[in-house]
Amino acid sequence: MTPRDRPFGPLEQTLRQLNDQLDQVTGRWPSWNGDAFGEFGPHAMALDVAESDSTFVVTADIPGFDRDEIDVRANGQTLFIDASREATAESDEETYLRRERERYSLSRSVRLPESIDSDGVEASLQNGVLTTTIPKTAPDSEETHVEITEPAA
């Protein structure tokens, strides 16, 4: 077969490659039902991890959540962040034209490259940004719950 017999051959090959790449990406996405968005989707928790000689700093965007709706835990080399918000109570007096604010939750875990001091972890929440400072240390096997405090002014 000559190129003249298949004038759209290169286009077909490109479309096949794009389709394969899309299949690879969507195969990693969790179910699109309810709160099962995981790390992708409209309720994703974006985060940054920075490192210094003695600490890691994890900054996560968690807009719309209060301190008491966020749970931060640390264990070994892993930081866990969970946030859950209930739906607002409906009033009989209100008629909604559109209602998008529902109950949903976010969850991320970050495995750090070195062991951390889970007792020394500090977290603060300001304007929907959770900043967690994690001291490095020798290996530790106990999980510790971290209380979120008001940021220093």
Which residue type is seen at 75? Answer: N
- For residues 106 and 44, give the distance between their C-alpha atoms in angstroms, rounded to a whole number: 7
Listed range (50-54, 112-116, 145-149) with the worst mean pLDDT? 145-149
Residue 125 covered by a domain: yes
In a domain, 66, yes or no: yes
Short-list 111, 47, 108, CA closest to 83:
108
In a domain, 82, yes or no: yes
Within a domain: 10: no
Which single residue is written with the structure tokens 């510790």? 144
Task: Let me know if 146 is exposed, middle or buried by CB neighbors in 10 A (0-12, 13-18, 19+).
Answer: buried
Please tell me the total number of residues recorded for the chain in this structure: 153
For residue 2, the cross-strand partners are none
Residue 56 dihedral angles phi and psi, to the nearest 5°: -115, 145
pLDDT tens digits along 14-27: 888 887 777 666 55
pLDDT for residue 32: 39
Domain range enclosing 128: 32-87+103-149
- The Cα 8–Cα 38 span in angstroms is 39
- Is 143 a member of any domain? yes
Q: What single-letter amino acid sits at 125?
A: L
- What would the pLDDT profile of 91-142 be if each residue is shown by its tens digit? 556 777 777 666 778 889 889 998 888 889 999 999 999 999 999 986 656 6
In a domain, 3, yes or no: no
Q: Report if residue 98 sits inside a domain.
A: no
How many Å apart are CA 25 and CA 41, to the nearest integer? 13
* Maximum CA extent, the chain: 74
Tell me if 132 is assigned to some domain.
yes
Q: Which helix (H) or strand (E) holds 22?
A: helix 9-27
pLDDT band at residue 30 under the 50/70/90 scheme: very low
CATH number for the domain including 49?
A: 2.60.40.790
Per the structure, how many domains does the chain have?
A: 1
